[in-house]
Amino acid sequence: MKNILLCCLLLGVTGLLSAADAPAPSSGVVDDKVPVGEYLYANVQKLPPAEGALKVIFTSPGPHRVVVAYGRRFRKDRKSRDGSVEAERETYKPRLAELSDNGTTALFRNLTPDFYDLFVIDPSSMSFYEGTALHKLGRDETLTETEVAGFQEEIRRSLGLRDDRIGGWEGFFDHKRIERIEVSEGRAGVLMQQMRLGVALAESGDRLKGTIHSLDVVWVERAKVAEAGWQVINRQQIYREELVSKEFFR
């Protein structure tokens, strides 16, 4: 995983961003896969009209890359969705780009004004790039490095696999890796990867051929009793797919 500055401010105009990535012959996605992650992104047919658009230009082909734009304004840690209607909730979801020109162009349509953080995921090379703001307030600069390190270790224990009981948070996944943590005022944003290498079944009962991979942004809050650890407030999956690889994205 490479954390780079991939954020665009959209004010009703088209933006331009250049990036580079290396293609691979295979898509990395299991043939005849179960569509496990298609619900994650906004359905363009249900979106209200908006004039904003964002175009991302790559300097090398990438026909299998997945490019996601995630707006900040209506993230689950920023604004309550109580009382919202379906069209609004669809607007709040991450957006999936339309690829063209052998993956060198990624286009987002119908975007409302917002800051958009970008994720570039390539299952063919098992690599991804991101520059998302994990916490709306940013890192708390009043915390010492020792305090931050202590909080991060507590969060890793709370979200990771448990030795004292079966499962833990998102017990479906049997392999987890935390990429980044931003802590501020007793809350934190976490970017993590998860995989299931064990047996997984489709709704039909058929055994899945590949490995389920998930990229998640998770928001947690420290419990009033420190021994209780950090509790999950909310979570947004950025990517979920059945892949051939049994390794984490790099």
How do beta strands 14-19 and 52-58 pair? parallel
Q: What residue ranges do the domains of the chain occupy?
A: 2-130, 145-243
Average pLDDT over all residues of the chain? 84
Structure tokens at 134: 């994990």
Domain 145-243 has CATH 3.30.310: no
Name which of 140, 138, 142, 122 is nearest 130 in CA terms.
122
Residue 207 per-residue DSSP state: B
What's the chain's Rg over C-alpha atoms? 18
Collapsing DSSP to helix, strand or coil, 232 comes out as: strand
Query: Using one digit for the tens of pLDDT, what is the confidence trace for 217-240?
Result: 999 999 887 677 899 988 999 999
Query: Using one digit for the tens of pLDDT, what is the confidence trace for 80-137?
Result: 667 777 777 888 899 999 999 999 999 999 999 999 999 999 999 999 999 899 987 6
Asked if 139 and 187 count as a contact pair (C-beta separation under 8 A), the reply is no
154-166: burial string, b at 16+ Cβ within 10 Å, e else: bbbebbeeeeeee
* Alpha-carbon span 169 to 216, nearest angstrom: 13
